[in-house]
Structure 1
Amino acid sequence: MKKSFIILFAFVISQFQAQQNAYYQQVAQYKMDIDVNAEQFTYQGTQTLKYRNNSPDELNVVYFHLYWNAFKPNSMMDQRVANQGKNGDSRLQKDGISRLASIPKNEEGAQNIHWIKQNGKNLKFEIQETIMKVYLDKPIKPHSKTTFTMEWDAVIPQQIRRSGRNNREGVDMTMTQWYPKIAEYDYDGWATFDYVGREFHAPFADFDVTIKINKDYVVGAGGILLNPKEVKGYDSSAQIKTDQNKATWKWTAKNMLDFAWAADKDYSVESFDVPQGPKVYFVYQKNDKTKAWAEAKPYVTKYFQIMNSKFGKYAYPSYAFIQGGDGGMEYGMCTMILGEAENIEDLMGLMAHEGSHSWYQQMLATNEPLRPWMDEGFTSYAESYVMHQLFPPKDDRPNPFVEKLDAYRKFIKKGIEEPAVWLGDHHDNGTAYSYASYVKGELYLVQLGYIVGEENLAKIMTEYFKEWSMKHPSDRDFLHIAQKVSGMDLKWFHHYWINTTKTIDYGIKDVQYGNTSTTITLVNNGQVPMPIDFSVITNDNKIVNYQIPLNMMHTWKNKDAFGEFTSLKYWPWTQKEYTLTVPYNKSQLKILGIDFSQRMADVNPEDNFVEVK
């Protein structure tokens, strides 16, 4: 074989492989018509779904999620709650016993598929718990389209978790994950995790939804209402059009992961505009228990302004805070939250968390069941950052994350931690899931800011949003950006923090004072290596910062938001102790210690500081 031909062949193969591995995402368009029987808590539905396969793979089957099938006795969710007992999600149980086991037959969740067709041809399908597997009439070729039509009826389940009828605050219907929803298909294959109570994933889609419901109901939804003058609650001059005592609501939404709505006869609707967007809707029952909502508008306005400036511009025209569900859960252009709150700060904490999911779940649409820490953790980081500005603490804390760090340290002592890398629904302990996903996910960014510097972290978050907004990023994509911006090797950190339950524990082992200098011996008592920020405060209150790099980083910071650093010789991760000398004697020193910024998640910070006496 000639050399030139070999070179050409190798080039063609490399180009083909590059194309095969190139990023893609599927596209869906839903058109739904829903007829609700509010007295019976049921509805009839028809759906047309246009689906484009942008992958390089030929698809012979497709999968749909039927989430409401989980809300019945002996479902996988019921079994999971029963098996976990008091270690599981407290909202799904009472006295350690699954609440799903006692759902009456007429209040069981159900999505009964009458038929499904592909381009007019009837398809065979089978229901596997909360997943529907559909065998195609013709394969969907790469980069081609197909159209599915289907008809179904549904029973709105007793409100146990997120969806359902008659929540504990008296909201009639919380309609979330309520329609047959096509699963996401990507490089990892079909995202067909069984639903047993936690997170969701889906392709970006456009929605055209028509809802017929009793004319006395007000509907709140994540989308744009096309006929506000024909329905109740949105326009004071509305002339409600009815057909057999039902009003028709027409909603549209573009490029979202899902469409959620809620309905109640006692809803009030209020709206206001955030400068440079979005338009915000409050849909809630106005009473003494929800009076904090009236105070929330200026806080919500400032919240969106901070988020737009810090983390990237909110992409959609509106956002709705809707009273419903069982705590808080994020959806496209809206959230369902419990509306009763003791005070404005409690309400805003919930609104800030769920609103921030518009960034770290909707626009940056990671696979939540696979990597819940990227969704819940990054959202919690944004929540803490914004709440620190909305409600400045009275104490002089060094950063917005001190409380989370303290909570993490207390939790570690229980000895029940589980790795953040575990699948969301597969954690054995509910509290361990919360710390792995919410707290360690948040502290992932706090530790990253400590390692690379706050200025670099801000650049990383901005670049992440710029490159991956309206896509499905993974942790590998985020880490790639973090390494590119910082110039550091960060794979070691990612591995320790996400894949293990090992902990950070540095301390000051010994201090020797000389005539003109002081020598300090540091010790690594933990299992996670870290670079060390070491500082001294002199008697004239001057702060001098030193950075002891970790050899695995290969590049290190020389400044941070907390000051400039003098870099010292690196600390090999295999080395137990490290000695440094500072040019100050005992009479010149007031305090010396590790991490004055208090960002490092050291589980035993008590031995990190020495007060010189």
Structure 2
Amino acid sequence: MRKSVAILFAFIISQFQAQQTPYYQQAAKYKMDIDVNAEKFTYNGNQTIQYTNNSPDELKVVYFHLYWNAFKPNSMMDQRVGNQGKNGDSRLQKDGISRLASIPKDQEGAQNIHWIKQNGKDLKFEIQETIMKVYLNEPIKPNSTTAFTMEWDAVIPQQIRRSGRNNREGVDMTMTQWYPKIAEYDYDGWATFDYVGREFHAPFSDFDVTIKINKDYVVGAGGILQNPTEVKGYDANAKIKTEKDKKAVWKWTAKNMLDFAWSADRDYIVKSFDVPEGPKVFLVYQNNEKTKVWEQAQPYVTKYFQLMNSHFGKYVYPTYAFIQGGDGGMEYGMCTMILGEAQDMEGLMGLMAHEGAHSWYQQMLATNESMHPWMDEGFTSYAENFVMNQLFPPKEPLPNPFANSLNAYRNFIKKGIEEPAVWLGDHHDNGSAYTYSTYVKGELYLVQLGYIMGEQNLAETLKQYYNQWSMKHPSDRDFLHIAQKVSGMDLKWFHHYWINTTKTIDYGIKDVKYDAKSTTITLVNNGQVPMPVDFSVMTTDKKIITYQIPLNMTHSWKEKDIYGDFKTMEYWPWTQKEYTLTIPYTKSQLAVLGIDFSQRIADVNMENNFVEVK
């Protein structure tokens, strides 16, 4: 065999083998001992990590995240906020100036690594701000486990974003992304994104955490408390057990989670209740006039978990905690940190519904948030609005539960600053553009799929997505594969347009001609994103007739939808500007003509979508 042919053959074989590589995911087991100095807002920590390499690759280095190193002047986060000015995250800046630039020296975040060892031997490491690169003495071979031990101390930063001391509601410590956290490794390599304010990613891990803190504190956490009778807040008959330094010892465990988060405050109270066939829920908050609405939460939270379990898949963890802390709302394993002050139950529950839904679309279905934030925030927003519409039915019924999100998207598009959802989370140039590309377009991705394939198929897709990928790290390709299989449609075109571009949908009614026995309607595509069209008429006797005009690129058409029956017409080629259909109704028989009576299609110009027959 000629050498060039042999090289080509070897390359083809290697590519085939790469495509056939079975799915794998890494695993870690943390054992931590933490000693908190509450007066100085510092702590000392040491941990052992049993790290298992389930990949087919030999690992010669490992990486850790040191997120708190971002909270100081001239950090990459500070630089990013400063460069964005008023276009950035409003929580990180004031009047266009970064809040990090003025953090006092003694309140700068810090994670100071004293040493790290592998199987008892010292390792060389480099600190690259929020990333620690560790050079291994012994490569970690495929399907093997190694042990890392390390010691560090940390300064709890001024509360700027999510973590930190003394948040604006007076909570003493919000301890999130607070420990040296091993990075995720998968087919795409190490997930070593610098932390400049957005999202996170990590391997599923087990946690055994011991926290020593002043006995006056109550700790809320995402995990299972092992000694509730020895600490404050969880057992009315508890006898607080302290060590010589008058510190209580809190022992927590958690299994198969992405992270372990906790919060501590002297004024916390703890309430708990069991959701039937669901988790034990803990409410951890400061009991005062501004948080009294928390006392009404139990029936709403109970119904919330029941609805989520029924429609999106069962919550698999034994507990969940809603904890007052942080700077708004942020999800973690088996808990969320949210601001506690609320005007009414609907406001509080809206925050709980969103952050709680991240247990599905961040924890159990653990996509890489830094690379695909729209799959996390967008799918979560979809679940939030789906459930909230049932918990708090609107006084004036909406055409669908997502109508407000659709209208918000239409209004935002007019500003002309949209950025593609495919961009990495931390690399959006405009804070509002990030919000809409991630939260809103991610949510509308599912809304549009429901319109294209039918709501029953979308519900089945979400169920199968959960069944096949819960407790794993799915990608957008994995979700799309299931959607196409369930619907029988080719949907790659839609995924491309909606996620990779900022092109918009804009269909309209161009012309209507009334004849003696029929009416002829000409529709026009004024946008850049092709879509199937559901065209409906309402007769004068209030009967609705819908005509499904399929798009040729799907190569299959939806067979049913919860928004009514329909008659399927000839398909509309995506290259064709106009489409004409004739219906057997006269002008005197018609009241309204329109595109998508359900108002799910994300058409940016609704003014030419409906005609009132007079």
TM-score, normalised relative to structure 2? 0.97
What corresponds to 1:314 in structure 2? 315
1:374 has 2:375 as partner: yes
Cα separation, 2, equivalents of 1:13 and 1:525 = 46
Which aligned pairs between 1:100-499 and structure 2 lie closer than 5 A?
Answer: 100-243=100-243, 244-499=245-500
Cα separation, 2, equivalents of 1:252 and 1:460 = 33
Cα separation, 2, equivalents of 1:590 and 1:269 = 58
**1:485-534 deviation per Cα after TM superposition (whole angstroms, max 9, x unaligned):** 00000000000000000000000000001111100000000000000000
Match of 1:605, SS state, is coil
Match of 2:598, SS state, is coil
The answer as to whether partners of 1:78 and 1:101 remain within 8 angstroms in 2 is yes
Cα separation, 1, equivalents of 2:16 and 2:428 = 39
Cα separation, 1, equivalents of 2:330 and 2:170 = 17
The answer as to whether partners of 1:61 and 1:135 remain within 8 angstroms in 2 is yes
Cα separation, 1, equivalents of 2:475 and 2:441 = 17
Write the letter of the residue equivalent to 2:38.
A
1:548 has 2:542 as partner: no
Most deviating of 353-362 and 540-549: 540-549
**1:119-172 deviation per Cα after TM superposition (whole angstroms, max 9, x unaligned):** 011000000010000000011111111000000000000000000000000000
Shift of 1:540: 1.6
% identity of equivalent residues: 82
What corresponds to 1:95 in structure 2? 95
Cα separation, 2, equivalents of 1:559 and 1:180 = 51
The answer as to whether partners of 1:341 and 1:347 remain within 8 angstroms in 2 is yes
Shift of 1:15: 12
Cα separation, 2, equivalents of 1:612 and 1:559 = 28
Gaps of 5+ in 2: none
Q: Which runs of 4+ in 1 moved over 4 A?
A: 12-16
What corresponds to 1:29 in structure 2? 29
Cα separation, 2, equivalents of 1:512 and 1:525 = 20
Match of 2:297, SS state, is helix
Cα separation, 1, equivalents of 2:468 and 2:512 = 48
The answer as to whether partners of 1:549 and 1:570 remain within 8 angstroms in 2 is yes
The answer as to whether partners of 1:284 and 1:339 remain within 8 angstroms in 2 is yes
Cα separation, 1, equivalents of 2:541 and 2:155 = 72
Cα separation, 1, equivalents of 2:238 and 2:297 = 27
Cα separation, 1, equivalents of 2:253 and 2:30 = 10
**1:446-497 deviation per Cα after TM superposition (whole angstroms, max 9, x unaligned):** 0000000000000000000000000000000000000000000000000000
What corresponds to 2:604 in structure 1? 603
Cα separation, 2, equivalents of 1:588 and 1:523 = 24
The answer as to whether partners of 1:547 and 1:558 remain within 8 angstroms in 2 is no
Cα separation, 2, equivalents of 1:597 and 1:430 = 31
Cα separation, 1, equivalents of 2:612 and 2:158 = 59
What corresponds to 2:516 in structure 1? 515
Write the letter of the residue equivalent to 1:187.
Y
Shift of 1:95: 1.1
The answer as to whether partners of 1:417 and 1:436 remain within 8 angstroms in 2 is yes
Match of 1:232, SS state, is coil
Most deviating of 16-25 and 294-303: 16-25
Cα separation, 2, equivalents of 1:144 and 1:20 = 21
Write the letter of the residue equivalent to 2:88.
G
Cα separation, 1, equivalents of 2:75 and 2:257 = 29
Shift of 1:341: 0.7
Cα separation, 1, equivalents of 2:138 and 2:515 = 83
Match of 2:311, SS state, is helix
Cα separation, 2, equivalents of 1:368 and 1:269 = 31
Match of 2:47, SS state, is strand
Shift of 1:277: 1.4
Shift of 1:279: 0.4
Shift of 1:564: 1.4
1:80 has 2:85 as partner: no
What corresponds to 1:579 in structure 2? 580
Cα separation, 1, equivalents of 2:376 and 2:450 = 18
Shift of 1:565: 1.4
What corresponds to 2:42 in structure 1? 42
Q: 1:450 to 1:187 in 2, by over 3 A?
A: same
Cα separation, 1, equivalents of 2:282 and 2:136 = 41
Write the letter of the residue equivalent to 1:142.
P
Shift of 1:558: 2.8
Write the letter of the residue equivalent to 1:57.
D
Shift of 1:16: 8.0
Write the letter of the residue equivalent to 1:439.
V
**1:358-394 deviation per Cα after TM superposition (whole angstroms, max 9, x unaligned):** 0000000000010000000000000000000000001
**1:2-52 deviation per Cα after TM superposition (whole angstroms, max 9, x unaligned):** xxxx9xx99x96998278521100000000000000000000000000000
The answer as to whether partners of 1:20 and 1:56 remain within 8 angstroms in 2 is no
Q: CA RMSD in A?
A: 1.4
Cα separation, 2, equivalents of 1:571 and 1:299 = 45
Cα separation, 1, equivalents of 2:589 and 2:565 = 20
TM-score, normalised relative to structure 1? 0.98
Cα separation, 2, equivalents of 1:200 and 1:106 = 26
Cα separation, 2, equivalents of 1:63 and 1:166 = 30
**1:148-203 deviation per Cα after TM superposition (whole angstroms, max 9, x unaligned):** 00000000000000000000000000000000000000000000000000100000
Match of 1:563, SS state, is coil
Write the letter of the residue equivalent to 1:56.
P
Cα separation, 2, equivalents of 1:216 and 1:46 = 23
Cα separation, 2, equivalents of 1:609 and 1:91 = 41
**1:529-582 deviation per Cα after TM superposition (whole angstroms, max 9, x unaligned):** 000000111112111111000000000013210111111111011110000000
Write the letter of the residue equivalent to 1:237.
N
Gaps of 5+ in 1: none
Q: What is the count of residue pairs matched by the alignment?
A: 606
Write the letter of the residue equivalent to 1:343.
D
Cα separation, 1, equivalents of 2:582 and 2:475 = 43
Q: 1:16 to 1:534 in 2, by over 3 A?
A: closer
Write the letter of the residue equivalent to 2:108.
E
Write the letter of the residue equivalent to 1:512.
K
Write the letter of the residue equivalent to 1:527.
Q
The answer as to whether partners of 1:558 and 1:566 remain within 8 angstroms in 2 is no
